[in-house]
Amino acid sequence: MAGRLTTHVLDTVSGKPAVGLEVTLWSLSPSGERTLLKTVLTNQDGRTDSPLIPDGELKQGLYELVFSVGDYFREQTDLPDVPFLGDVPVRFGVDDERAHYHVPLLVSPWAYSTYRGS
């Protein structure tokens, strides 16, 4: 089995997938230095068109997904000039390079939740 990384973003205000939300993927060194791996937009299903890290390319280590929710909701709703949530970072570790890591985000302009999905 080959490991991969995927994500899915749901807009809990509309109850629909978050379309066109920018997601950046970073790898983190043990000292905390970040290396940009990818920047993508979510599609009509709130997912990326392909895995963020494809089958067989997932490596053990620390990663960070940054979801640009402030920009997304500014396009969807009337937010204050300084939104409550701007970028939402989710840092997580990958131990098993053969596993599928799925990191969904449930988000509104005021709150978010994430978990290791399937």
Amino acid symbol at 21:
L
**Around 65, how many Cα atoms within 13 Å sit in the side-chain half-sphere?**
29
**Rounded to whole angstroms, how far apart are CA atoms 46 and 37?**
20
Q: How many CB atoms lie within 10 A of CB 33?
A: 9
Look at residue 110 in the predicted model and tell me its pLDDT: 94
76: containing domain: 4-114
Sign (positive/negative) of CA torsion 82, 38, 101, 61? negative
Run of H or E including 66 = strand 61-68
Look at residue 21 in the predicted model and tell me its pLDDT: 98
| β-bridge pairing 100-107 and 4-11 | parallel
Note the pTM of the prediction, 2 decimals: 0.94
Give me the number of domains the chain comprises.
Answer: 1
- Kindly state the tokens that stand for 37: 């791996």
Look at residue 1 in the predicted model and tell me its pLDDT: 65
- Kindly state the tokens that stand for 42: 């979510």
- From first to last of its 118 residues, the chain has per-residue pLDDT tens of 689 999 999 999 999 999 999 999 999 999 989 999 999 999 999 999 999 999 999 999 999 999 999 999 988 777 788 889 999 999 999 999 999 999 999 999 999 999 999 8
**CATH number of the domain encompassing residue 87:** 2.60.40.180
**Rounded to whole angstroms, how far apart are CA atoms 74 and 7?**
21
- Kindly state the tokens that stand for 65: 């997904």
